[in-house]
Amino acid sequence: MRTRRRGAKCRYTWNWITWTICAILSSVSGSASPPDSLKLVWLSNTTLTCNDGSPTGYYFRRGSNTEHWVVYLEGGGYCWDTASCRARWRRRPALMSSTRWPRVRRAPALLSAERTANPLWHASNHVLLPYCSSDMWSGTRTATHAVGGFSFTGRLIVEGVLEDLLRAGLSGRLMFVGSSAGGTGVMLHVDAARRALRSKRIKVAAVSDSGWFLDRPARDRRVPAAAIARLGHSLWRGTPPNSCVRKHVKEPWLCYFGYRLYPHIRTPLFVFQYLFDSAQLAAEGVRAPRTRTQWEMVHKTGVALRTSLDSVRTVYAPACLAHGALARPEWLAINVSGISLPRALACWERRLGRAKKTHVRGGCAPRRLVEICSWPQCNGSCPRLRDPRTGEEVALATLLQSFGMDVHGAAAAMGIDAGAFSRMSHAELFPLLAPHV
């Protein structure tokens, strides 16, 4: 496994004296890395790059359980044509280039080596793939003369990383995980990865976190999701799985949507999906719902997401207005029907024969845990909802009122003063409402 030479991140300094000082400082800082950190490794195939042509790679830490590997694909949206890619470059260049990648990165939740932060996989070998290809991890366009001079090699990057990991000792069991665009990328890649690693007797499974997007109509004259996927598929030279493409020969870009792709996935897959996914709502034109009409749209999206998950064998779907969970500390607190997300994952892995029985306390969880209530944030473990204008937490009573609930009537039915009802915290109010949802 090749690592970058010491001091290489100082290559843009103006003379050799400045470069030497920078290299020394980098060496000193690198020797004092935080214990829960991942180290940057550059990809051995140097022809594969980020959008801007800068080198790509991954962050790695070897764990004590040498036979268990967690490979995490980051998310971060995508671009699909000249205008959107140039806008992305102006606003979020860190998602298109590696020029400012640090030599070490603090591990996100499911890649932490701390048992308290990561009770499931703290001892595993951890690999984080930073997202810099803007193509849902599906592109094969290496020519830099493409739109704006950008290349899109997400699919090839994943393949290159797996090849490097094999040389680094990849063996035993591989857990392929991704969030948002990375969650979609996991679904696009997992069968191919399983086939590629079969001869090495490496078992593969996958977890898709918030990558289950729907091609629902947009409002306010927005470009429909399916049209964006069609443009992106062409720009990236995307390569969805052949089994799905054969089903949608004339519209292969439909294979970027979870409910259309899922029937063609043969590898064990755990789907985590918030029922009121904020990224899905943003794509439909609802970013900060305030009016009753907007909340009705939120409700309809929730119904559509719940329905689309009907055929999924293993799914965990809280009724939250949020996006992405596994890289955030709150993943430990999320629960559906009293069953936490870590426990549900541990049960699923145990059923696959890939986890010790001692990992699961209190018995195993059902395969399907989908929230039954039909309004957002009805789950008391949801991440707090905040007003985007002020940053302050939105009171549950205010949320319910915006959603069309008669707060005064509800307060009277429970024998509570309406003013006191409105001032109650989520923790106080939810137990009172729970029997009625």
**CA dist., res. 37 & res. 5, Å (int):** 19
Q: Does 310 participate in catalysis according to the annotation?
A: no
Say how far apart CA 6 and CA 27 lie, in whole Å. Answer: 7
Write down the residue that tokens 């034109």 correspond to: 285
| 191 belongs to the catalytic site | no
- Could you tell me the two tokens for 42? 């550059």
Query: Active-site residue 277, yes or no?
Result: yes
CB atoms within 10 A of CB 30: 16
pLDDT of residue 29: 44
Q: Which residues is 38 bridged to in the sheet?
A: 105
Closest CA to 195 of 266, 262, 276, 138: 266
pLDDT for the residue 402: 56
Task: Say what the pLDDT of residue 375 is.
Answer: 77
Prediction pTM value:
0.83
Q: Catalytic pick from 98, 277, 308, 422? A: 277
pLDDT in tens, the chain (437 residues): 434 433 344 443 444 444 444 443 444 444 456 778 999 999 999 999 999 999 999 999 999 999 999 999 999 999 999 999 999 999 999 999 999 999 999 999 999 999 999 999 999 999 999 999 999 999 999 876 556 789 999 999 999 999 999 999 999 999 999 999 999 999 999 999 999 999 999 999 999 999 999 998 876 657 889 999 999 999 999 999 999 999 999 999 999 999 999 999 999 999 999 999 999 998 888 877 767 777 788 889 999 999 999 999 999 999 999 999 999 998 999 999 999 999 999 999 999 985 444 444 556 889 999 998 777 888 888 887 765 555 555 555 555 565 555 656 666 665 666 556 555 555 555 555 544 44
CA atoms of 24 and 326, how far apart (whole Å) = 36
Of 84, 180, 278, 308, the catalytic one is 180
Quote the pLDDT of residue 378: 80
Q: Which of 122, 126, 264, 323 is catalytic?
A: 323
Contacts for 161 with CB less than 8 Å, ≥ 6 apart: 43, 58, 71, 127, 129
Contact 241, 255 (CB under 8 A): yes
Query: Could you tell me how far CA 180 lies from the centroid of its own chain?
Result: 3
Amino acid identity of residue 12, one-letter, is Y
Element (H, E) at 281: helix 278-283
pLDDT attached to residue 399: 59
